[in-house]
Amino acid sequence: MNAGYTSMLILICLLILIATGWRPYLSQQAGGRSLIFLWITTTLLFYMPLWWRPSSAYSAFELHIGICIVLLASIASIWKSKSTNNRVYLMVCSALIAILWGGIHSLYAHDPLFFHLDASWGGPVLCGILCCSFASDLHQQFSVIALGAIMGEFLSAWLDAGSFTMRIGGLFWWDSVWAAVAAALLMTLLQRFGKRMFLKIGRASLKYRKN
C-alpha cells in the first residue's frame, strides 16, 4: 500500500462522519469547521519537503517542521483539560503510549516474524486500543497518541542504539498515527453503543419482570 493512503482514507471517513452529524459522538471540544481547517492545513503542510536534521552526521534522523504544529496543538488540547490532575493524567498516558510504541517498534526491528496485523500496524493498533481506556474524546485521543508516537520514536531509536532510522512526520509515520487514532475511536464508539444496548436490555428486562 502506498504511503499516505491509509491516512487520507481515515481522514475522509472522519470528515464524512462529522458532516453527517456524528460530531457529538466524536468530540465535544471543538466544532466541525475547526477540525476540517486543522486537518486540511496539516495535510497540505506535510506534503511539502520541510525536513530538518541536526547535521549531516545524523542522516538517520529527520524531523518534519510541521510536527512542531502538531506538538503545540496536542499540548494545547491537553492543557484545555478541566483540572491539573487531568492534565497530568493525560501526560502520563502519553508516556505509556510512548513506551508501548517504541518498545514494539524495537521488538519488530529485532524479530520481524513477531507481528499481529502488519509490521507497521500491530503497534499502532495496540496503542489505539490502549488509548481508548485513557480518553474518550477524539481531541484527547489524538493528542495522547501524537505525543506518544513522537516520544516513542525517540525511545525506539535509543533502544536500537542508533541503528534505527527515525523519520518523524513522514507519510508512513502518519499512517501509523492515524491507524492508532482510528482504532481508539472505533473502540470508543463500540463501548458507547454497547453501553446503550446494555442499558436498554436492562430496562426492558426490568419492565418484563414488573409485568
What would the pLDDT profile of 80-138 be if each residue is shown by its tens digit? 777 888 888 889 999 999 998 888 887 777 765 555 566 667 788 888 888 888 887 77
Distance, CA of 124 to CA of 112 (rounded, Å): 16
CB 127 within 8 A of CB 180: yes
Q: Which of 32-36, 55-59, 71-75, 164-168 has the highest mean pLDDT?
A: 71-75
Q: Tell how far CA 158 is from the center of its chain.
A: 22
Phi, psi of 62 (to 5 degrees): -140, 135
In a domain, 122, yes or no: yes
* Cell matching residue 141: 485521543
Count of the separate structural domains present in the chain = 1
Contacts of 70 (CB under 8 A, 6+ apart): 42, 146
In a domain, 210, yes or no: no
In a domain, 207, yes or no: no
In a domain, 46, yes or no: yes
pTM reported for the whole predicted model: 0.81
- pLDDT given at position 164: 60
In a domain, 63, yes or no: yes
* Cell matching residue 196: 446503550
Distance, CA of 101 to CA of 97 (rounded, Å): 6
Q: Average pLDDT of 180-189?
A: 87
Distance, CA of 10 to CA of 99 (rounded, Å): 25
In a domain, 186, yes or no: yes
Task: Name which residue leads in pLDDT, 30 or 171.
Answer: 171
Residue 152, helix vs strand vs coil: helix
Q: How far is CA 200 from CA 176, 192, 204, in A?
A: 36, 12, 6
Helix (H), strand (E) at residue 62: strand 61-64
Residue 24, helix vs strand vs coil: helix
In a domain, 184, yes or no: yes
In a domain, 168, yes or no: yes
Host domain of residue 27? 5-202
